[in-house]
Amino acid sequence: MGELLTVRGVSSGYGQIRVLRSISLNVLDGEIVALLGANGAGKTTTLNTISGLVKLSSGELLFAGKSVARQPAEMLPGLGLVQVPEGRQIFGSMSVEDNLLLGGYHRYVGNSRSVRGDVREMFEMFPVLGQRRRQLAQSLSGGEQQMLALARGLMARPRLLLLDEPSLGLAPMVVSQVFAHIGSLPERGVTVLLVEQNAKQALEVANRGYVLENGSIVMSGKASQLLKDERVRSAYLGDDNPAGPGEA
Ligand code: ATP
């Protein structure tokens, strides 16, 4: 597997506020990589720095081996690097279908037939969106809006999808559905960098994970190992007794 994303020694922040302190991580083609951390650790800032929304102050960012550190954010979807932001940020006063068409906008000119074909594919993948295609996006439930945000991201035909807290605010049943969709993305040729508070489900779907604390990567490894790690269990899985009940 080749390296699709390389983050090397990256620092960034907001004005004088330094948030990321020389972080390094990578994502291989076909992987799902989870980025975990407490509130304020810098997870969203990491995604926003990769997608060009926050300017990096030092370090290197490579996508498919090419530097993207100086690329304007709006150029990155065309290269295959697409972010689904926290809070979904769908266009509430537009229909479900129009939200999807917008997701493929940079491919639309001269290629509207393939974009429309992809909309049909999204309705197969997320039947509820097909049933509600003409409804305003703001009238969807939270879970349906999250599906729409994911589908809109996929409309750009990403090679790498940056997902920011896709399970935020969803009922447990819906969270499982969202994670099932995320787990199927590599089969569709989509590699994923996933930011999640829901550490357990994120690590269950991921191949590898990184833990961010105060803007620094403090731990990394295979997801299966992180799931067993005592520090991860007590800090992020809400598990005070990693050995399990009844065991010493
Ligand atoms: P959460 O899980 O709560 O979303 P996070 O790990 O994604 O947290 P970030 O949103 O990246 O954390 O925030 C990291 C730090 O950067 C926080 O201290 C936050 O207050 C600060 N920060 C985030 N956005 C801005 C901004 N626009 N201007 C100034 N500081 C910011």
Tens of pLDDT, residue by residue, the chain (248 residues)? 799 999 999 999 999 899 999 999 999 999 999 999 999 999 999 999 999 999 999 999 999 999 999 889 988 988 999 999 887 788 999 999 999 998 887 766 666 777 888 999 999 988 999 999 999 999 998 888 988 999 999 999 999 999 999 888 888 888 888 899 999 999 999 999 999 988 999 999 999 999 999 999 999 999 999 999 999 898 888 765 544 443 33
The span from the CA of 168 to the CA of 85, in Å, is: 11
Please give the C-alpha separations between residue 172 and each of 128, 143, 150, 168, in angstroms, as whole numbers: 18, 10, 18, 10
Q: How far does CA 147 lie from the centroid of its chain? A: 13
Residue of 11, 19, 167 to test ligand 1 pocket, by largest number of atoms within 8 Å of CB: 19
Q: Which pTM value belongs to this model?
A: 0.91
How many angstroms is it from 128 CA to the middle of ligand 1? 33
The span from the CA of 73 to the CA of 245, in Å, is: 48
Contacts of 125 (CB under 8 A, 6+ apart): 151, 154, 181
12 Cβ below 6 A of ligand 1: no
pLDDT at 109: 65
How many angstroms is it from 140 CA to the middle of ligand 1? 28
Token readout for 80 is 């295959």
Please give the C-alpha separations between residue 242 and each of 81, 230, 245, in angstroms, as whole numbers: 37, 6, 8
